[in-house]
Chains A and B, each alone.
Chain A
Amino acid sequence: MFGKLYAGELKKQTSKSAIIAIAVIMAVLLLLMAVLFDSLNELLAESVPPSEAQSRSAEVYTEESVEALLEYYRAALKDAEAEKAEAGFDYYRNPDSVYMYEGYIAMLEYIKGNELYGIELTTVIQGAPVTGASVTAESFITTAGSMLILLAVIYASIVAGSTFADEYKRGTIKMLLIRPVGRGQVVTAKLLAALTHTAAAYLIMFVCTVAVGYAVFPAAGGDAVYSFNNSAFTVSAVSNTLGISFATNLIMLMTYAVVAFAAGILTRNKVFGIITPIILIEVAGLIISMFGLGRFFISDAAEWSKYVGIGNTLYGGADFFISLAVWIVWVAVLTAGSYMAVIKRDAA
């Protein structure tokens, strides 16, 4: 019975026109980004002296260079800590430079401890890996991927936000719930269908991005040092960034799908279902961050990429385990709310 419900939901959620629209937008975006990155490549090749910002570039470390960098970052950390002490609550409103420098130092100590000298090594701490002064397939894929994830979020919001709202609007919810199926089962079937459906859509997008990335740009090759929440480090192929980027983006995408799903159920309105996640990302998250509470908000807590070195700004006080706890609470509350609303409220 559940299988039938799930299969039916998948069928109901897929619309040819939406798939075509998303495919066209994706193709245009990928093309534009490939052209942009290609010209950026030319610019980079012409100039660009190595700067602090590019300390993440692939480098060949030596005992001396690591010591010099350690000294540099320890000094920077001291300054940052002094700033933090002075900033007071402002610390929670701004990018956390203490966390960032601690990350660099921990990574350099990892390199030192494992004597990873004399090999070309990419470090993945903040931002996409850039090897030397050129755009690599991997850096294109992670950067383009972080743009395409927005498209995927929109698609997920449409699918998850309208799956219940449409049934209420069309009145088909009545035909569905007069059947001998549990309302909880219907919620599970719809949620699972929305999640698997959008995950599949994102997988296809990601595969296309990977294909374009490797077709247009050279592979970075070599190894990278990966960090996790400033506390665990490991060395493996640079191409593994792609898996990490896909996984963390997928978690974010699923989270927004859950938000859209709950909003669609609670408001029984498709428009609210669809725009709620977008409002959360673009508006609410920013406003709440301004008050220094970003780390307790779902949009920030769902973005795990920053803890593995490929994400964006990380606000003061952030820590993976805080984010994980906050994320679990939000997802649990939204999911439970969705079930409760469908089970307890009158269907019509």
Chain B
Amino acid sequence: MDAVLSVNGLKKYYRSKGSFIKAVDDVSFEVYPGEVVGFLGPNGAGKTTAIKAITGLAAYEGQIRICGFDLSEKHRAAVRQLGAIVESPDLYADKTAKWNLSYFASISDEEQLRTGYPEGAEIKKIISDRVEKALNTVGLSARAGSAVKTYSLGMKQRLGIAQALLAEPKLLILDEPANGLDPDGIKDIRNLVRRLASEKNIGILVSSHQLHEMQLMCDRVLIISHGRIVADKKIDELARSEGGRIRVSVKTDDPAKAARFLAERFGVEDAVAGENSVSFSSDKPTAEVTRELVLAGFNVYGVSEDEVSLEEVFMREIHSGTAKEDGDVR
């Protein structure tokens, strides 16, 4: 399957107050159809700068291809496959949602707009139908006639997504779509994003600094720090600690004996025996470890895998990334 977005050696350097800043430094990654990719990093890591380059808003070095079209050389062919919110869902506030969407549809690519409509259909009708559908998708049909300035932030985010969906994009880029939303709003956006990826097979790049959200929303996460991608991993890979280990804790009668057994049987080195449980990190499937314990005669009352939060992973990856960078400098 061909990538809807392929970024190769993306760089964006600039000077600010006399110092040279590498806002994005040699970033490469791909996004495939139907995939939700998280773009994760603290504020100032270079997420938005990279997104501005990918959406064609800012000049860059390196290569960006959208659906195979080079963004610099074939700008129109590339961006007609693109729907995006960059930074914030800014629309014309004193105009209605419907006006905004109709306007943005009218200046979108006509061929894209006609996709899925009978040949010879009137473009005006197609636009109004697409506007209706986009409003429906994000659940804003009832307020379509209100000025955007009367909208809540969550509604604006959803309207921004509707705007991005107008011309049948194959690549959707959402910059901090959950920013400033309440939990319900965040859930709405998350469900919408998942649905768009699975039902419409859109490749989606979502940036965020909200770790938990990324875990729920994305298939894969790119971690960016100081302008560099320090990790590109599937969500379930990320949940494992260094070396693919996971922290397991087993409730049993004799934790100390269990710890010794684990050390002998599986070579576990960090088993910690508590009062009624033993915890350790393991690279073996938890089911296998449990079975072996039971077969060895331990009474197992409960097994739990400690959830490695994305936050820990995040800190770990950033720090190892920084260490690597420091290494480069030396």
Interface size band for A: 20 to 34
Which one of A15, A170, A178 lies within 8 Å of B56 (CB-CB)? Answer: A178
What residues on B are CB-neighbors of A348 within 8 Å? 52, 57-58, 86-87
In the complex, are the beta carbons of A178 and B57 less than 8 A apart?
yes
Taking CB atoms, residues of chain A closer than 8 Å to B163 are 175
Residue from A1, A11, A344, A348 with most neighbouring chain B CB atoms (10 Å): A348
B93 near A178 (CB under 8 angstroms)? no
The reply to whether the CB of B195 lies closer than 8 angstroms to some CB of chain A is no
Whether a CB of chain B sits under 8 angstroms from the CB of A171 is yes
- CB–CB A178/B82 < 8 A: yes
A75 contacts partner chain B, Cβ-Cβ < 8 Å: no
Instruction: State whether A174 touches B104 (Cβ < 8 A).
Output: no
Scan residues 42-65 of chain B and give those whose CB is less than 8 A from a CB of chain A. Answer: 52, 55-59
CA distance A265 to B176 in the complex (A): 28
B contact residues, total (Cβ < 8 Å): 31
User: A9-33 interface mask toward B, CB cutoff 8 Å, 1 = contact, 0 = none?
Assistant: 0011001000000000000000000
Chain A contacts for B93, CB-based, 8 A: 170
* A-contact 0/1 string along B85-109, CB 8 Å cutoff: 0111011111100010001101111
> A203: CB under 8 A from chain B?
no
Contact A180 B58 (CB under 8 A): no
| Residues in A neighbouring B109, C-beta threshold 8 A | 180
Query: Taking the complex as formed, is A219 at the interface, i.e. its CB lies under 8 A from any CB of chain B?
Result: no
Is A5 in the interface zone, CB < 8 Å from B?
A: yes
Complex formed: what's the CA distance from A182 to B95 in Å?
A: 24
Docked pose: A174 CA to B163 CA in angstroms:
12
Q: Which of A4, A171, A172 contacts B106 (CB 8 A)?
A: A4
B57 A179 Cβ-Cβ under 8 A: no
Contacts of B56 in A (CB 8 A): 177-178
- B56, B92, B95, B108 interface centre (most CB from chain A within 10 Å): B92
A157 to B109, CA, bound (A): 32
- Say yes or no for B10: interface residue by CB 8 A criterion: no
Report the minimal beta-carbon distance from B71 to chain A, rounded to whole angstroms: 11
Residues from chain A with Cβ under 8 Å of B87 in the complex: 171, 174, 348
The reply to whether B90 and A171 contact each other, CB–CB distance below 8 Å, is yes
Q: B55, A175: Cβ atoms under 8 Å?
A: no
Query: What string of 1s and 0s marks CB contacts (under 8 Å) between B69-91 and chain A?
Result: 00000011101101010111011
Output the residue of A175, A347, A348 with the most chain B CB within 10 A: A175
A179/B58 in contact, CB under 8 A:
no
| B165-189 near A? 1/0 per residue, CB < 8 Å | 0000000000000000000000000
Name A's B-contacting residues (CB within 8 A).
1, 4-5, 8, 11-12, 15, 170-172, 174-182, 344, 346-348
5 tightest CB-CB pairs across the interface, nearest first?
A171-B90, A346-B58, A180-B80, A4-B106, A347-B57
A–B complex contacts, Cβ < 8 Å, 25 sampled:
A1-B107, A4-B106, A8-B106, A8-B107, A11-B103, A12-B92, A15-B94, A170-B90, A170-B92, A171-B87, A171-B88, A171-B90, A172-B92, A174-B87, A174-B90, A175-B91, A178-B56, A178-B86, A180-B75, A180-B79, A346-B52, A347-B58, A348-B52, A348-B58, A348-B86
